[in-house]
Amino acid sequence: MKKATNSALMRRKNEKLVLSMIYKAPISRVEIAKKTGLTKAAITFIVDDLMSRGILLETDGQSETVGRNPKMLSLNGDAFYVIGINITRHHVAVGIMNLAGKMVSSDYFSLCECNKTLAKIKHSVEEQMKTAKVPKEKIYKGAVVTPGPVDIENGMILNPPNFNEWHHFPIVSELTQLLGVPFVFENVSSATALSEKLFGAAIGTENFLALRVDEGIGSGIVLDDVLFRGPCELGHISISYDGKPCECGNRGCMEKYAAIPAILDGTPYQSWQEVVDADDETLMKKEAEYLSCGIVSANNIFSFDKIVLCGDLSYRAGKLVSFVSDAVRNKMLTGKYPIVSTGAVSSRHKIAAAVAIYDLIS
């Protein structure tokens, strides 16, 4: 029994490995063998199975050798779909996306009382499946995203601030039962990192930090192409040992200085957008200094290739990116500087759905 389970797990792991190669770009069987180290027989077995399930397509590729065009394997985007549900502190985004990352349907409504919100989610999903003509058997998985902290293993929201009604709510089992499809779960910052990796500013980047700055500061980290599942509380890295006290028990947490309400405190601005529109370089440089302290602390451990700024702070962020980049360089010991950029995925639906696609290939 144990042997059979191990063999099934190994098969699923190899299937994910093959799918992750094909997801990046169309590729031949020979290239998959070279990049994964899997045997030709193992690849044939996995590919035949995926093709029989309609997940892969085979086309003639281009070859420099006349008469020897390799068969290229690519993903059949419309073979399956995923549901993405992003529950924020004020709104719920519900959408359906195909495997190739195209949103085929979406809906957005205000967050209300817990049970009413679940009923609205069910209604929204059912209506979207009807209008987009996506039958239930074509749904690969659903993904739900909420503010953190969350317990991924047990599918439970823990105790995110200003989210009291959902504290200790078993979101994965509730949605699985409600909609009759399996669900995966992430906190919004990790989901943001995955969406940037699959569809946005971090495609092809193996080591990066996605830093979400809005009402608070959240972070998602990808190392060697894999989502880091540690605590990732970069907002609570101290940038001043005797600084402002924080609810977490520490002092001088970056969030107390660089989250949007903190940086706007004592200024005439109501939003970060107003700061950028007023071209207030002094405040932008101050924000860059705060952020660079936290970024460099994390970078001194992980050595990122890229830092992706997301959330409210990514509004027209050309100048801020350059200020953060300079501030990071000024504080670094080594010469390998990470590239600083802004995120490219703003759709909350897509951020959630990315979690289900990541589950397919990793």
- Judged by the rule CB under 5 A, the positions of this chain that interact with Zn ion are 236, 246, 248, 250, 253
In the complex with Zn ion, the residue whose CB is nearer, 98 or 219, is 219
Name which of 30 and 248 has its Cβ closer to Zn ion.
248
Is the Cβ of residue 141 or residue 236 nearer to Zn ion in the bound state? 236
**Least distance in angstroms from the C-beta of 281 to Zn ion:** 28
DSSP 40-98: HHHHHHHHHHHHHTT-EEEEE---SSTT-PPEEEEE-TTS-EEEEEEE-SSEEEEEEEE
Could you tell me the smallest distance in angstroms from the CB atom of residue 254 to Zn ion?
Answer: 8
- Rounded to a whole number of angstroms, the minimum distance from the CB of residue 248 to Zn ion is 3
Looking at the Cβ atoms of 256 and 306, the one nearer to Zn ion is 256
**What are the distances in angstroms from CA 158 to CA 163, 278, 311?**
10, 39, 22
Kindly tell me which of 152 and 246 has the beta carbon lying closer to Zn ion: 246
**Which contacts (CB < 8 Å, 24+ apart) does range 133-140 have?**
134/81, 134/96, 134/104, 134/105, 136/180, 136/181, 138/79, 138/80, 138/81, 139/80, 139/81, 139/82, 139/83, 139/181, 140/80, 140/81, 140/82, 140/99, 140/356, 140/360
Least gap, CB of 253 to Zn ion (angstroms): 3
Pair 189, 129: CB distance under 8 Å? no
User: Is the distance from CB of 212 to CB of 293 less than 8 angstroms?
Assistant: no
Q: Closest approach of Cβ 294 to Zn ion, in Å?
A: 11
Question: Whole-angstrom Cα distance, residue 8 to residue 206?
Answer: 28
Min CB(241)–Zn ion separation in Å: 13
Q: 197 vs 236, which CB is nearer to Zn ion?
A: 236
